[in-house]
């Protein structure tokens, strides 16, 4: 199930900057293969953290889509791969590697499609098996936050979701930004009844114009009396800079609440 990532993958810069003891894997998932970053030694762990990449370079301009959604700067992957806890990083469909199913719509209007979520769901199963893990914590950057929430809504092993500059609801986001609807995409708000029960912490930069901090507050309000949703606003942070230092300070801090289910494992 797990194969070495092909040497010809775009942006060899990522391979060159991998922290010691980390490597890339090509996951055979359908309908899109996915690139993962993992520890070379997969020690067993009851809890596995999985970081989900952002939308990457989906658009060149406001009207011209990119022909390759691979992030130009792999900072989020490197942020994930320096986490000392058992963890893995997942690229989004058609980033770094692609197959015949990849079309422009898969990283534009349909970036949060059922097919994209299904591929990530399969990848998570493989990574969970690799670490013999029972529980997961999902951490998403930008559009990766929507994917983390969509995955948490369909799985029964996610203890918590965290996000950095997270697009928590694509529907709310396009309304706020006055953009065209993302036809073919799912929205986590459609699963609010389940998601309001999952502990969450969302970090938002108050200088982020791509995903404004107001989106996180509106997300929490629309969940309707959620069990635990923390919003951490960070001064002077934009959408894609400064997050490495912030995350190093916060990544070991537990959420302010714990899962409520009897017998549940401790929250991260």
Question: d(Cα 100, Cα 32) in Å, to the nearest integer?
Answer: 9
Asked if residues 11 and 96 have their Cβ atoms less than 8 Å apart, the reply is: yes
Question: d(Cα 84, Cα 87) in Å, to the nearest integer?
Answer: 8
C-alpha angle with apex 161: 254 to 17, nearest 5 degrees? 90
Strands 158-164 and 87-90: unpaired
Within 10 angstroms of residue 63's Cβ, the number of other Cβ atoms is 6
Strand ranges (E), the chain: 2-4, 22-27, 34-39, 47-52, 87-90, 135-141, 158-164, 200-205, 229-234
pLDDT band, residue 258 (cuts 50/70/90): low
pLDDT band, residue 156 (cuts 50/70/90): very high
pLDDT tens digits for range 145-155: 999 999 999 99
Report the Cα 204 to chain-centroid distance in Å.
Answer: 15
Question: d(Cα 75, Cα 215) in Å, to the nearest integer?
Answer: 23
Q: Where are the domains of the chain?
A: 23-56+67-251
Give the residue-averaged pLDDT of 41-49.
94
Environment class of 12 (CB within 10 Å of its CB; exposed 0-12, middle 13-18, buried 19+): exposed
| % of the chain with per-residue pLDDT over 90 | 86
pLDDT tens digits for range 168-213: 999 999 999 999 899 999 999 999 999 999 999 999 999 999 999 9
Q: What is the pLDDT of residue 190?
A: 97
Q: What is the pLDDT of residue 10?
A: 54
pLDDT band, residue 8 (cuts 50/70/90): very low
pLDDT tens digits for range 110-139: 999 999 999 999 999 999 999 999 999 999
As its CATH architecture, domain 23-56+67-251 has 3-Layer(aba) Sandwich (3.40)
Average pLDDT, the chain: 91
Q: What is the pLDDT of residue 268?
A: 44
Q: What is the pLDDT of residue 62?
A: 79
Give the residue-averaged pLDDT of 230-251.
95
Q: What is the pLDDT of residue 267?
A: 41
Q: What is the pLDDT of residue 11?
A: 59
């Amino acid at each position: 199930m797990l194969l070495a990532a092909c040497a010809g993958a775009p942006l060899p810069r990522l391979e060159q900057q991998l922290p010691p003891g980390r490597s890339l894997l090509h996951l055979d998932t359908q309908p899109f293969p996915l690139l993962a970053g993992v520890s070379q030694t997969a020690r067993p762990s009851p809890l596995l953290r999985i970081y989900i990449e952002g939308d990457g370079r989906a658009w060149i301009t406001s009207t011209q889509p990119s022909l390759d959604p691979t992030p130009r700067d792999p900072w989020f992957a490197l942020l994930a791969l320096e986490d000392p806890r058992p963890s893995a990083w997942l690229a989004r469909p058609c980033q770094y590697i692609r197959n015949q199913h990849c079309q422009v719509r898969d990283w534009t209007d349909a970036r949060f499609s059922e097919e994209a979520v299904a591929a990530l769901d399969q990848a998570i199963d493989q990574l969970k098996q690799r670490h013999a893990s029972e529980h997961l914590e999902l951490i998403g950057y930008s559009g990766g936050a929507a994917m983390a929430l969509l995955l948490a809504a369909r799985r029964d092993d996610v203890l918590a979701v965290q996000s950095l500059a997270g697009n928590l609801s694509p529907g709310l986001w396009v309304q706020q930004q006055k953009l065209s609807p993302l036809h073919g995409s799912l929205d986590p708000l459609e699963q609010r009844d389940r998601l309001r029960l999952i502990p969450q912490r969302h970090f938002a930069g108050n200088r982020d114009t791509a995903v404004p901090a107001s989106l996180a507050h509106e997300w929490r309000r629309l969940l309707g009396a959620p069990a635990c949703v923390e919003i951490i606003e960070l001064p002077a942070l934009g959408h894609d800079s400064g997050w490495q230092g912030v995350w190093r300070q916060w990544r070991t801090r537990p959420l302010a609440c714990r899962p409520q289910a009897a017998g549940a494992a401790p929250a991260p």
